[in-house]
Amino acid sequence: MPLDMVIGAQWGDEGKGRVVDLLSANSHLVARVNGGDNAGHTVTVGEETYKLHLIPSGIIHPSTIGVMGTGMVINPFTLVEEIEMLRKAGIEISPDRLWISDAAHLITPLHRLLDRAKDAALGAAQIGTTGRGIGPAYTDKAARRGLRAGEILDAEHFASRVRDHLQEGNRQLVEWYGQPATDIEGMAEDFLNKAAELRPYIRRIGPLVKSALDADQSVLVEGAQGTLLDIEQGTYPFVTSSFTVAGGVPNALGIGLYPARRIIGVVKAFQTRVGAGPFPTELDGAIAGHLRGTGENPWDEFGTTTGRPRRVGWLDLVLLRYTHEVNGFSELFITKLDVLSGLDEIQVCTRYRRRGRELETLDFSGDARLLDECEPMYEILPGWNADLRGCRSWDDLPKAAQAYIRFIEQRIGIRAAYISVGPERTDLLIGA
C-alpha cells in the first residue's frame, strides 16, 4: 500500500511542487486533496517553468494520473485555463490522465466577489485572503448549500442550482456589504459553459484510488498550503479554510485509514509567510532582502498565486517541532539552502520566551493571539559564501552548510532525506 504524502511544514510556499515533481516520476497517481487556486506550485524543468494552482504538479510527468480530491474547491475558469496552458506546453491532458472527484466543490464568480467584499469590510482586522473565493466556497460547503462537481453531470439540475446560488450571493453582496448588484444571467451563462467543459473528467475517485493502492501502485499526495495554515491546527484565525495536514488525506481520497508509507515534511531553510498573522522570526532590512530576492526570478519570494512579496524570517524550530507533532513526519525535505549562501552568520530560533517562561514546544495549538506573545530566542551558526548550485552530494556542501543541516536534524529528531540547492530538477542532493 505505497501511499506517500508531501506536506508543507510551515506557512506554505515551502517548495512542495519541486518535491512532488521529483517523487512523481515513480508514481502512478498524484493527488491534490485540499484547497483551491489560492495554492501555487512552481516546477522548473530546464528552460520551462510551470506555475500550477489546481492540477497536481506531478502531471508534468507523462506516466502519471492527476487526481483532484473531495477536499478541493475548484474554479472551473482557472482549471480550464490550466488545462489549456499545459496542452500548449505539449503535456497531454485528457480524462484518462486527470480525474476530478464528483464530491469536490466549485467556486463561482460570486464567491470571489463575496470574498473580496468581506475581507475589505474587516478593515484593519483583514485576514489577507487571496480574494479567490476560497472561504465563501468552503462556507457554503459547511452550510450544506455548496455546488459539487458531480452536479455538473445533470445539466438541467445544475443550471437551476447555479442560478439559485447566484441570486442568493447577489443579495448578500448588496445587503451585507453595500456592493452593487451584478449581472446574474450573464454570469450564469459563462459559468455553466465553462463548468460543462469539465464534465468528461468527473468521477467517483475513491474506488479508483483504492484499486491502485491494492495493486501496489504508488499514490503520491501533493499537499497544498502548509500545516500552519490548517483550519484546525494552524495559527487561527490567520489560516486557510481547509485542512492542510496529513490526517485529512484518507478522507479526501475516500479510501479509509490506509497507512502512509512516507509523510515527507517540506521546509525551507528559512521561514516565509504571505498575508497577515503572527510571525515570530520575521525580518526586515538587508537580510530580508537577501532571503526574498528581487522578484526577477520565478523562484524568488513572491507569491505564485498573488504576486505579493512574502514576509521572510529566520527558521523557526519551535514551529517545526509543532508541525512534526501534528503530522508525524517520517523525514524532511529541506529546500532553498542555496539562498543562505553569502550570509556571515545564520540565526535559528530554537525556543520562545513567553510570560517569563522558555518554551521549546508550543503549549497551545497555534492560537495567533498567544503566538503573538512569543519572543524568539536564537542560536547563531556560521554562514558560508560558496555557491551551492553545483553541489550534487553531501560531501560537496561546505562544512558550515553541513553543520546547519545537522543542527536542524538533531533539534527536530528527523533525518533530512533531501536538500535542494536551486530551482531546477537537478539542483538536488541526498542527505547524509
Is residue 341 within 8 A of residue 348, CB to CB? The reply is no
Same domain, 215 and 175: no
Give the count of beta carbons closer than 10 Å to the beta carbon of residue 378.
14
pLDDT score recorded for residue 96: 96
- The reply to whether 99 falls in a domain is no
- Grid cell, residue 116, equals 473580496
- Same domain assignment for residues 171 and 28: no
Find residue 380's DSSP bridge partners: 347
Give Cβ neighbours of residue 409 (< 8 Å, ≥ 6 apart): 332, 415, 416, 431
Mean pLDDT in consecutive groups of 10 residues from the start of the chain, 432 residues: 92 88 90 87 70 89 94 96 93 96 97 86 63 91 96 97 94 89 90 98 96 95 94 93 93 90 97 92 94 77 77 97 97 96 97 94 90 96 95 96 98 96 88 80
96 in a domain, yes or no?
A: no
Using the 3D structure, point to which of 200, 222, 242 is the last residue of a domain: 200
111: containing domain: 105-200
CATH code of the domain in which 74 resides: 3.90.170.10
Residue 185 lies in a domain: yes
So which residues are the catalytic ones? 13, 41
Q: For the chain, give me the number of helices (H) and strands (E)?
A: 12, 19
User: Which of 200, 216, 241 is at the close of a domain?
Assistant: 200
Q: How far is CA 146 from CA 59, 134, 166, 428, 432, in A?
A: 28, 12, 12, 42, 48
Q: Residues 306, 389: one domain?
A: yes
Residues 228 and 112 grouped into a single domain:
no
Backbone phi, psi, residue 110, to 5°: -70, -35
The residue from 171, 200, 229 where one domain ends is: 200
Amino acid code (one letter) for 312: V
User: For strand 105-106 and strand 65-74, is the pairing parallel, antiparallel, or unpaired?
Assistant: parallel
Confirm whether 95 is domain-assigned. Answer: no
One-letter identity of residue 248:
G
Same domain assignment for residues 168 and 280: no
Residue 259 exposed, middle or buried by CB count within 10 Å (0-12, 13-18, 19+): exposed
Tell me how far apart the alpha carbons of residues 89 and 62 are, in angstroms, rounded to a whole number.
12
Domain match, 194 and 297 both: no
The answer to the question of residue 194 being in a domain is: yes
Q: Are residues 231 and 335 in the same domain?
A: yes
Q: Which pLDDT does position 272 carry in this prediction?
A: 96
Total domain count, the chain: 2
Q: What is the pLDDT of residue 120?
A: 72
Packing angle, helices 184-196 and 76-88, rounded to 10: 40
SS3 state of residue 120: helix
Q: Same structural domain for residues 166 and 17?
A: no
Residue 10 lies in a domain: yes
Q: Where would I find the beta strands (DSSP E) of 198-343?
A: 202-203, 219-222, 262-268, 271-273, 311-313, 315-316, 331-335
Q: What is the pLDDT of residue 20?
A: 86
Q: Can you give the pLDDT at residue 305?
A: 64
pLDDT of residue 45: 66
Q: Among all chains, which residue has been given the C-alpha cell 545537522?
A: 406
Grid look-up 507569491 returns 303
* Inside any domain, residue 72: yes
Q: Distance between CA atoms of 15 and 220, rounded to whole angstroms?
A: 16
Q: Are 101 and 70 in contact (CB under 8 A)?
A: yes
Residues 196, 211, single domain; the answer is no
The answer to whether residues 140 and 249 belong to one domain is no
What's the DSSP call for residue 12?
A: S
* 183/237 same-domain check: no
Same domain, 307 and 391: yes
At 114, which CATH number? Answer: 1.10.300.10
Secondary structure (3-state) at 66: strand
For residue 128, which amino acid is it? G
Q: Domain for residue 98, yes or no?
A: no
Residue type, 325: E
